[in-house]
Amino acid sequence: MTTLLTSARQLPTETALSFVERTKNTCVPEKSWPMTPSTLYQSGAMLRSLCISLSLMALPLAASAQLLEFPAGAERTADSVQQLSSYRLPIGPFENDTVQTIWAEGEIARQAWQIQIEGATTLQLLAPLRDQLTAEGFEILFECEAENCGGFDFRYATEVLPEPEMHVDLGDYRFLSAHRMGEAAPEYISLMVSRSSLRGFVQVTRVGPELGLDAALSAASTKNPASPIGTGAFEGLPLSEQLQLSGRAILGDLAFETGSSKLGVDQFGSLADLAGFLSDHPEITIALVGHTDAEGGLDGNIALSKKRAQSVMKRLVDVYSIPAAQISAEGVGFLAPVASNQTDDGRTQNRRVEVIITSTQ
C-alpha cells in the first residue's frame, strides 16, 4: 500500500495550515492542535512518520477510473505508472530562480493525450477538464497561463513528457494543479495543456494511493497511439513549414568549433531559411534553445548550451539583419534529450540548437 506525503515547509503558511488542519485527524494526534506556523514546520518529521504508519491501513480509491473524460477522437499517446515514487507538484510560478512546489509521494500515474482541434485555444481545452475536477471535489491550488507561469523557465522546471507524445508551445500553454482529500490520504493532480496548429496536447500527472493504469482518465474515444507530432514527424519538410505546422524545428546543420560555443564560419542553410522566415513574418518571435549531451555537470552544460544559442542569435542579427527583439536565446543543457545518451549517435543527436516559436498569434 502506498501513501502520499506533503512537505508543509514548501507551502505558503496559510495554505499549509489550511491543508494540515483538514488532515489533522488522519495524520497528527489530536493533542498536537492547534499548531502555529513555527510548530507546524518543526513537526514535519512527526507528520511524515504518522502519515506513513496510517497509510498502511489505507484502502484503494473508489471509482477513480471515471475522474476525467476527454472528447470523442482524443488519443492517448503516453501512459505510465510508478508504484512508489515522488513528484514535485508546482503550486506557484517561476520566481527567484525556482518554482514553489509540494513534495508528493505515492503511486504516480502520467498520461499524455492529443485532441483534434479546429482553432481551439488552450483555455477551451483546459476549462472542461477543470470543471470536471471541481465537480469531483478537487480544490484548485494553482493555475497559470504561459507568461504568468514564468514562460520558458517554468516549462523547463516542470516535469513534462517528451516529444512527440507531449508538446508544449512556450508561448501558448496553461498549467493547473489541484488536490482533494481521499478516504485515507490526499490526492493531487496536475494538468499541462498546450497546442500546435493541428492538435491540442494535455499531460495529466496524478499522485495518490493505488491509482492504477487507467485511474486518472477515460475517454469517449479510441485509445490508440496518435501519429507523432514532434519534430521528427516533419523531417524533410522546409524549415518554414516545420515551424508553421509544429511551432519548432531543429537547426540540424549547425557546427561549432571543437570544445567551444563559437559557431563555425560556414554558411548554414538552416540559418538562411530561418532568417527568410523571420523576415517574412516580423510579427513572430522565436527562442533559440541550446541542448547538450549528458557528459559533464548540469550547470556547465546549461551555460554551454545557452552560449551556443546566443552565438546563433548573434549570427542572425549581424549577418542577416534580423531584429534582436525578435529573438531570445536560452539553454537547457541535457534536460531535454531526443535520443539515448548511452551511444555516440544518440549524444550527437542531443547536441543541437532548436528554434521554437514563442509568439501566440
Beta strands in 245-346 (DSSP E): 248-250, 286-291, 327-331
225 inside domain: no
- Between CA 270 and CA 272 the distance in angstroms is 5
Q: Do 95 and 161 belong to one domain?
A: yes
Q: Which pLDDT belongs to residue 205?
A: 95
Q: Which one of 175, 197, 219 terminates a domain?
A: 219
Residue 326's CATH number? 3.30.1330.60
Q: Which pLDDT belongs to residue 339?
A: 80
- Per the structure, the count of domains in the chain is 3
* C-alpha dihedral (30, 31, 34, 36), degrees to nearest 10: -120
> Which of 141-145, 225-229, 322-326 has the lowest average pLDDT?
225-229
Percentage of the chain surpassing pLDDT 70?
A: 73
Q: Do 35 and 176 belong to one domain?
A: no
Q: Which pLDDT belongs to residue 185?
A: 76
Q: Do 204 and 250 belong to one domain?
A: no
337 inside domain: yes
For 112-131, write each residue's pLDDT tens digit: 999 988 778 999 999 999 99
| pTM exceeds 0.75 | no
Residue 175's CATH number? 3.40.1000
2 inside domain: no
Q: Do 89 and 148 belong to one domain?
A: yes
Q: Do 181 and 328 belong to one domain?
A: no
Comparing 163 with 139, which gets the higher pLDDT? 139
141 inside domain: yes
Strands 139-145 and 173-181: antiparallel
- Between CA 257 and CA 265 the distance in angstroms is 9
Residue 14 belongs to domain spanning:
8-55
105 inside domain: yes
| Cell numbers at 4, concatenated | 502520499
Q: Do 169 and 281 belong to one domain?
A: no
- Between CA 101 and CA 108 the distance in angstroms is 16
Q: What is the mean pLDDT of the chain?
A: 77
Which range is most confident: 98-107, 212-221, 302-311?
302-311
Q: Is the pLDDT of residue 164 over 50?
A: yes
Q: Which pLDDT belongs to residue 234?
A: 59
For 318-328, write each residue's pLDDT tens digit: 999 999 999 99
224 inside domain: no
Q: Do 310 and 345 belong to one domain?
A: yes
Beta strands in 117-184 (DSSP E): 139-145, 173-181
102 inside domain: yes
1 inside domain: no
Q: Do 161 and 296 belong to one domain?
A: no
Determine contact, residues 316/274, Cβ cutoff 8 Å. Answer: yes
Q: Which pLDDT belongs to residue 115?
A: 92
- Residue 154 pLDDT class (50, 70, 90 cuts): very high
Q: Look-up: residue for cell 540548437?
A: 353
Q: Do 272 and 292 belong to one domain?
A: yes
| Cell numbers at 233, concatenated | 514527424
Q: Which pLDDT belongs to residue 210?
A: 67
Strands 217-219 and 199-208: unpaired
